[in-house]
Amino acid sequence: MATRIRPQSNKRCAVIGGSGFLGRHLVEKLLDRGYSVSVFDIRQSSELPGVSFHQGDLCDQQALLPALKDVSLVFHCASPAPASDDRALFERVNIQGTQTVLRACMEAGVQKLVLTSSASVVFEGTDIKNGREDLPYAKKPIDYYTQTKIVQEKLVLEACDKQKGFLTVAIRPHGIFGPGDPQLVPILVDTARRGKMKVIIGDGSNLVDFTFVENVVHGHILAAERLRPDSPICGKPYHITNDEPVRFWDFMSEVLVGLGYAAPRYHLPYALVYGLALLLWLLSLILRPLISFKPTFTPMRVALAGTHHYYSCERAKEDLGYKPVVSLKEGIERTVKSYPHLRHGA
């Protein structure tokens, strides 16, 4: 087992959303790097030695304050899951809740805030190739979750105020995967088990970023450590990727085959699948009062699976000294190994 370094007093931080997939990996790495960490989350995952846990809803300022006491640095990586598809919840937590987090940081005297945003804040369902951070925010984001992530990112970056001694930065990851991920691999396996992962949308050549969780964590910590009044990163967003855009369908196939499932092989035209997904979605809305069904092939998923969307992390390389620490190949191997219960036949 790795020995942990004893925390120094200037290395006190809080992770809001620290019980989640990314949050948990972030907390572990912060502990390894000698930080003392308090976690604030609405639910507790298994305990970690040396972490003080505070349970509460981030929309409640009074509940947040004890977790931020004597803390100079806050990571905010809490959000409802995109799949929850609950507009009121996204708005309450990602928008009003983030305003509450900002007020609580001010009241507690926090100096730095690192937000986990998303690269999808600029994605409108059409191709993005090597997109840089200066792309405009999506006017028609792919879903309401992403709409609230846009507002959240703006709120946090606009709150950066050197005069007040409060500095902010946003990290925009895309397609985070790795051990403990409750979304991408489990949803993929569930789709395969229901016999619905047989088809490749389009010609299968579309490139996408999938980012191993430890690289995302590395980007967050670099940003936190570079965030100083004289640094160019204040108030800016940064793409953090594996810097290895991959064919969407090659990535899916590698994970599926690694877990013992067949790779998809029949091709269908993108426009046809997108049209069908749109029709199904409309039907599900119309029939909602009578029957409730959730289509697997939502327009959002089809757009994510059938378009190019990969991003440049040059700005992070230049300003943060970022470089991925785990390759895509190794990331996939470690991820596949971590899901024995999702293997075919398990």
Ligand X SMILES: NC(=O)c1ccc[n+]([C@@H]2O[C@H](COP(=O)([O-])OP(=O)(O)OC[C@H]3O[C@@H](n4cnc5c(N)ncnc54)[C@H](O)[C@@H]3O)[C@@H](O)[C@H]2O)c1
Ligand Y SMILES: CC(C)CCC[C@@H](C)[C@H]1CC[C@H]2C3=C(CC[C@]12C)[C@@]1(C)CC[C@H](O)[C@@](C)(C(=O)O)[C@@H]1CC3
Q: Could you list the residues that contact ligand Y (CB under 6 A)?
A: 82, 118, 120, 174-175, 183-184, 187-188, 191, 201, 297, 301-302, 304-305
Task: Spot the catalytic one: 145, 261, 274, 339.
Answer: 145
**Helix axes 248-258 and 299-306, enclosed angle (nearest 10):** 100
CB of 156 to ligand Y, least distance (A): 18
Least Cα distance to 255 among 331, 322, 306 occurs for 331
The 10 Å Cβ neighbour count of residue 289 is 7
**Which of the listed partners (ligand Y, ligand X, none) does 297 bind, with a CB threshold of 5 to 8 Å by partner kind?**
ligand Y
Q: Which of 155/187 has CB closer to ligand Y?
A: 187
Nearest distance from C-beta of residue 14 to ligand Y, angstroms = 23
Indicate left, alpha or beta for 182 from its phi (over 0: left) and psi (-120 to 50: alpha).
Answer: alpha
Closer CB to ligand Y, 118 or 206, in the complex: 118
Look at residue 139 and give the partner it binds from ligand X, ligand Y, none, a contact being a CB closer than 5 to 8 Å depending on partner kind. none
Q: Which is nearer to ligand X, 41 or 214 (CB)?
A: 41
Residue 177 CB, nearest distance to ligand Y (Å)? 9
CA-based angle 113:78:296, to the nearest 5? 140
Q: Which residues bind ligand X (CB under 6 A)?
A: 17, 19-23, 41-43, 57-59, 77-81, 93, 97, 116, 118, 149, 173-176, 182-183
> Measured at CB, which residue is nearest to ligand X?
20
Between CA 211 and CA 245 the distance in angstroms is 9
* Closer to ligand Y by Cβ: residue 191 or 242: 191
Which of ligand X, ligand Y, none is residue 246 near (CB under 5 to 8 Å by kind)?
A: none
Virtual torsion, Cα 265, 311, 172, 224, nearest 10 deg: 130
Task: Indicate the pairing of strand 167-173 with strand 128-131.
Answer: unpaired
Q: Check if 270 is active-site.
A: no
Minimum gap (Å) between residue 297 Cβ and ligand Y: 5
Q: Which is nearer to ligand Y, 302 or 326 (CB)?
A: 302
Query: What, of ligand Y, ligand X, none, does residue 302 touch, CB below 5 to 8 Å by kind?
Result: ligand Y
Residue 131 binds which one of ligand X, ligand Y, none, with CB within 5 to 8 A depending on kind?
none
* Of 308, 195, 313, residue with least CA distance to 249: 308
Alpha-carbon Rg for the chain in angstroms: 20
For residue 213, the minimal CB distance to ligand Y (Å) is 12
From the list ligand Y, ligand X, none, partner contacted by residue 284 (C-beta under 5 to 8 A by kind): none
Shortest Å distance, C-beta 21 to ligand X: 4
Q: How far apart are CA 170 and CA 302, in angstroms?
A: 27
Between 59 and 263, CB nearer to ligand X: 59
Contacts of 318 (CB under 8 A, 6+ apart): none
3-state SS, 32-84, equals HCCCEEEEEECCCCCCCCCEEEEECCCCCHHHHHHHHCCCCEEEECCCCCHHH
Place of tokens 């570079």: 226
Active site residues: 145
